[in-house]
Amino acid sequence: MFTGKILSIHITPAEGQAMQSIESVQAVAGKGLQGDRYFCHQTALSTANDPARQVTLIESEAIQAVQREASISLAPGDSRRNLVTQGVPLNHLVGKEFNVGKVKLRGIRLCEPCKHLSEMTEPGVLPALVHRGGLRAEILTSGIIQIGDIIGAVTDQPDR
């Protein structure tokens, strides 16, 4: 069992634009984070409606490891992930339901680093974030996510 928290929240209204740091965001079940590029379908990717694109998370510990191990300074928003967490083993949440405050999410797959991320930051960020680039998740229940929200496992999760 784990208990973590949200350290920061980031969205961007269109692909390629800088991520904006915000205090809270409306999570809409089956759709995404209000104001984010995937919610607004402001992306060239044909997978804009993919549940795995509704919200992305990354561990603050992974961001710190990139700086420590690869000497790459990566601000939380530079990771291009929506939610920066602390104390949460995100890789273990693939296929699992978990809560972020009062919002229920389901981990879909790992969010491996991509060429676009290296173009927006530094090329060395790709190998530095392999298998620790975060988690793609689906929003199961709507609600507000805010900085400081507690992240925990869903205890009444049905067997699948």
- pLDDT, one tens digit per residue, over 108-118 is 999 887 666 65
Does residue 159 form part of some domain?
Answer: no
Does residue 84 form part of some domain?
Answer: yes
Does residue 54 form part of some domain?
Answer: yes
Q: What is the Cα–Cα distance from 157 to 145, expressed in whole angstroms?
A: 20
> What pLDDT sits at residue 16?
79
List of the chain residues with pLDDT < 70: 1, 40-49, 114-121, 126-127, 155-160
3-class SS at 67? Answer: helix
Name the domain count of the chain: 1
Does residue 74 form part of some domain?
Answer: yes
Does residue 158 form part of some domain?
Answer: no
> What pLDDT sits at residue 72?
82
Residue 119: phi, psi to the nearest 5?
Answer: -70, -30
Q: What is the Cα–Cα distance from 99 to 76, expressed in whole angstroms?
A: 21
Q: What is the CATH number of the domain that holds 37?
A: 2.40.33.20
> What pLDDT sits at residue 46?
45
Does residue 63 form part of some domain?
Answer: yes
Residue 133: give the domain boundaries. Answer: 3-153
| Residue 8 in tokens | 């920061």
Does residue 160 form part of some domain?
Answer: no
> What pLDDT sits at residue 36?
93
Does residue 44 form part of some domain?
Answer: yes
> What pLDDT sits at residue 160?
46
> What pLDDT sits at residue 60?
96
> What pLDDT sits at residue 117?
66
